[in-house]
Copies of this chain bind each other. A is one copy, B any other.
Amino acid sequence: MRIENIRSTERFGSVRINDVQKVLELDSGKTENSPVGAPTGIKIHDEVIRSLEGQMAIVIPVKDEKLQLFEGVISGVPHDCSLIVVSNSSRKKVDRFRLEKDTLEQFCRHAQRSAYIIHQKDAAIAEIAKQAGYTDLIGEDGLVRNGKSEGMVIGLLMAMVLGKKYIGFIDADNYFPGAVLEYVKSYAAGFSMSTSPYAMVRILWRYKPKFAGRLYFKKWGRVSETTNKYLNSLLSAATGFETDIIKTGNAGEHAMTIKLAEILPYASGYAVEPQEIVSILEQSGAVLPAPYPTVAKHGIDVFQIETKNPHLHEEKGVVHLLDMLRSGLSAIHQSQLANSTIKKMIITELVKQEALQPDETLPPPHINRPLRKVDLKSAQTLLRQRLEDYSVSPKP
């Protein structure tokens, strides 16, 4: 793979947010190309990507997705990655979790690889969370709460038990296995450029095709634009210099070093991705005191990589978009970095976009604490004992 060089970086305390880097070539070949003039791109060698993939878990949160899509997505995940599926699919009437497990098993048999699949409502995983004191994760029914971020936390715990160094998330509703492959290679490309054990890679889609009579290749969604605007305003307000560096506030496709992942909180619902950025900025030491000296010393690298493939996924409708907008902005609104002007602008925006009633107060998102804050050691020990229950291996 070849991607653009880092063109500019915004520094905010110990955090380095790099401007978008485009993927230039999906496959940059084995030959050493002697650079002519100043190279605009960086070649990430296969061996480097492969070695990072071997240390990476790819977590795929699933909720009642079409099986054809699920099957395509898993087939795009490079073989050397550990594949972890966290499903919150319906088990009533048709046991969709069972169908997903069957699909995964068949894939593993064909591809001669192993994988893990766990249901979000698995009683054992709820028990483990409770024993570790991670009650944030538990709902009224005593099981893990619904939601993508709670699924992400389960995946993260699994990745830790598997001894992985990196974790990447990929949504299960993608139509193109080739796009999934590019996400993972981009994650690896990002990590290969990082100089810190605390790093994050966020994917920017080149286009998001829409069907309006003909195919229309949208570059920016309204929700993303708004979320990015207010995330950037947190930076601008603190530094006094306006910026538009953050372009991936809602990036569902993103990856982290496990070291970074364990110190971040996970907001429920669609707040999860913007909340990660908010938390990174809060921990930068630029405004608030930096909570972790080691993190402050190394700094946090954020990479934003624009893929070559368009992103074509299942359409979920307008309600979903308003919910996304509201949740994302609530994460920014509740931040200690948000001054009263930003808070007011967010409320006005939400009312204008009809995502909030004029007399309604914006509730903060439910936050699942960082894993570092719970009894991680006992959680890992308990999960390790049960790991086999969630394992899918090719059978003879």
Contacts and interface: CB of A to CB of B under 8 A. Distances in A.
A87 to B, nearest CB: 21
A363 B27 CA distance: 44
A319 interface: no
B309 A37 contact: no
A25 B75 contact: yes
A242 to B, nearest CB: 29
Contacts of A79: 2, 25, 27-29, 31, 33
Q: Interface range on chain A: under 10, 10 to 19, 20 to 34, or 35 or more? A: 35 or more
B211 A111 contact: no
Q: Closest 10 CB pairs between A and B? A: A178-B178, A29-B79, A37-B396, A27-B78, A29-B80, A177-B308, A33-B112, A25-B111, A178-B309, A24-B110
A26 B181 contact: yes
29 contacts: A2-B110, A2-B111, A24-B75, A25-B79, A26-B75, A26-B78, A28-B111, A29-B53, A29-B80, A29-B113, A30-B50, A30-B54, A30-B80, A31-B79, A37-B394, A37-B396, A39-B112, A41-B110, A41-B112, A68-B217, A76-B308, A175-B209, A176-B176, A177-B182, A178-B179, A178-B181, A178-B182, A211-B215, A312-B312
Nearest to A175: B310
A395 B182 contact: no
Interface string A20-54: 00011111111101011101110100100010011
A165 interface: no
Contacts of A214: 211, 315
B40 A178 contact: no
B113 A33 contact: yes
A108 to B, nearest CB: 10
Nearest to A394: B36
Nearest to A41: B110
Contacts of A175: 209, 215, 310
Contacts of A2: 79, 110-112
A109 interface: yes
A79 B29 CA distance: 5
A29 B58 CA distance: 14
A36 B112 CA distance: 7
Interface string A51-95: 001100000000000001000100111111000000000000000
Given A46-B46, A176-B310, A178-B179, A26 B112 contact: no
Contacts of A77: 27
A2 to B, nearest CB: 6
Given A36-B396, A39-B112, 13 more contacts: A2-B79, A2-B110, A25-B113, A26-B75, A26-B177, A26-B181, A27-B181, A29-B79, A31-B54, A37-B395, A76-B308, A177-B309, A178-B178
A116 B285 CA distance: 52
A285 to B, nearest CB: 36
Nearest to A112: B33
A178 B25 contact: no
Nearest to A31: B80
Nearest to A178: B178
A89 B145 CA distance: 57
A391 to B, nearest CB: 14
Nearest to A81: B29
A95 B394 CA distance: 56
Contacts of A211: 211, 214-215
A36 B312 CA distance: 35
Interface in A102-138: 107, 109-113
